[in-house]
Structure 1
Amino acid sequence: MRASRLISLVLLLQSRGEMTAAELAEELEVSERTVYRDVEALSAAGVPVYADRGPGGGYRLLGGYRTRLTGLTREEAEALFLAGLRGPAGDMGLADAVATAELKVRAALPSVLRDAPLRAGQRFHLDAPGWFGDATPPAPLRDLARAVWTDERVEIRYRRRDEEVARTVEPYGLVLKNGGWYLVARIGRGHRTYRVDRITEVAPTGGHFVRDEAFDLAEFWRESTAAFLRGMLRDEVTVRLSPAGLRSLRFHLDTHAVERAQEAARRPDADGWVTAVLPVESLDVAFTQLLGLGPEVEVLEPAGLRARMAEAAERAAKLYR
Structure 2
Amino acid sequence: MRAARLISMVLLLQNRGSLTADQLSAELGVSPRTIARDATELAEAGIPVYAEQGRGGGYRLLDGFRTRLTGLGRAEVEALFLSGAPEALSGMGLDSAALAARLKIGAALAPSVREAPRRVGQRFHLDAPGWFRKLETPDALAELSSAVWSDRLVEVRYRRGRRLGETAEPEPVTRTLAPFGLVLKAGVWYLVAGVGDDVRIYRVDRFDDVAVADTEFTRDEDFDLAAFWRRQQEEFAASMMREHIVVRLSPDGRQRLHRAVDAATVAGAEFDEPDADGWTRARLPVETLDVAYEEMLSLGPDVEVVEPKPLRARLAEAARRLGELYD
Q: Identity, % of aligned pairs? A: 38
User: Judging changes above 3 Å, is the alpha-carbon distance between structure 1 residues 192 and 102 closer, same or farther for their aligned structure 2 residues?
Assistant: same
Contact 1:81/1:120 (<8 A) preserved: no
Q: Residue in 1 aligned with 2:211? A: 202
Residue 120 of structure 1 and its aligned partner are, at CA, apart by: 2.6
The 2-side partners of 1:281 and 1:182 are apart by: 16
Q: 1:83 to 1:298 in 2, by over 3 A?
A: same
Q: Is the 8 A contact 1:235 1:283 kept in 2?
A: no
How has the CA–CA distance of structure 1 residues 302 and 119 changed in structure 2, closer, same or farther, with 3 Å as cutoff?
same
Distance across 2 between alignment mates of 1:199 and 1:156: 11
Are residue 117 (structure 1) and residue 110 (structure 2) matched?
no
Q: How many angstroms apart in 2 are the aligned matches of 1:233 and 1:304?
A: 17
**1:189 is matched by which residue type in structure 2?**
D
Compared CA separation, residues 285 and 183, structure 1 to 2 (3 A): closer
Provide the residue aligned with 1:217 in structure 2.
Answer: 225
Q: Aligned-pair distance for 1:91?
A: 1.5
SS in 2 for 1:98: helix
Structure 1 equivalent of residue 25 of structure 2? none
Using the TM superposition, give the Cα deviation of residue 93 of structure 1 relative to its aligned residue in structure 2, in angstroms.
1.6
SS in 2 for 1:148: helix
The aligned counterpart of 2:150 is 150
The 1-side partners of 2:96 and 2:294 are apart by 46
**Secondary structure in 2 matching 1:162:** coil
Letter in 2 for 1:176: L
- C-alpha separation between the residues in 1 aligned to 2:290 and 2:87? 38
CA deviations on 1:152-185 (whole Å, 9 max, x unpaired) are x2342314443563x4432211122444433222
The unaligned stretches of length 5 or more in structure 1 are 1-16, 18-23, 39-79
Aligned length: 242
Q: Which amino acid aligns with 1:117?
A: R
Which blocks of at least 5 consecutive residues in structure 2 are unaligned? 1-67, 160-169
Q: Which residue of 1 aligns with 2:235?
A: 226
Contact 1:86 1:95 in 2 (8 A): yes
String of CA shifts for 1:255-313, please: whole Å, max 9, x gaps: 2343467x98xx999999877654345899768755654565688x87999x99xx99x
1:235–1:282 CA contact under 8 A, matched in 2: no
For 2:293 and 2:176, how far apart are their aligned partners in 1? 41
**Which residue type is aligned with residue 162 of structure 1?**
E
Once the two structures are superposed, what CA deviation does each residue of 1:46-101 show, in whole Å capped at 9, x if it has no partner? Answer: xxxxxxxxxxxxxxxxxxxxxxxxxxxxxxxxxx9985312211221211222233
Does 1:190 pair with 2:191? Answer: no
For residue 226 of structure 1, what is the amino acid of its counterpart? Answer: E
TM-score (norm 2): 0.51
Instruction: Give matches, 1:1-321, under 5 Å.
Output: 27-29=73-75, 84-106=84-106, 107-108=108-109, 111=112, 114-117=115-118, 120-121=121-122, 124=125, 126=127, 128=129, 135-138=136-139, 140-151=140-151, 153-160=152-159, 161-163=170-172, 165=174, 167-197=175-205, 198-205=207-214, 207-222=215-230, 223=232, 226-230=235-239, 232-235=241-244, 237=246, 239=248, 241-242=250-251, 244-259=252-267, 278-280=284-286, 289-290=295-296, 292-293=298-299, 296=302
Structure 1 position 132, deviation (Å)? 7.1
Q: Under a length normalisation based on structure 1, what TM-score does the superposition of the two structures give?
A: 0.52
CA 1:131 to 1:162, structure 2 compared with 1: closer, same or farther past 3 Å?
farther
Deviation at 1:142, TM superposition (A): 2.8
Q: Are the counterparts in 2 of residues 170 and 185 from structure 1 also a CA contact under 8 Å?
A: yes
Q: Is the 8 A contact 1:171 1:183 kept in 2?
A: yes
CA distance in 2, matches of 1:296, 1:227: 29
Task: Check the 8 A contact 1:184/1:191 in 2, yes or no.
Answer: yes
SS of the residue aligned with 2:136? coil
Could you list the per-position Cα deviations for residues 232-273 of structure 1 after superposition, in whole angstroms to 9, with x for gaps in the alignment? 25326475652x334321233232343467x98xx9999998
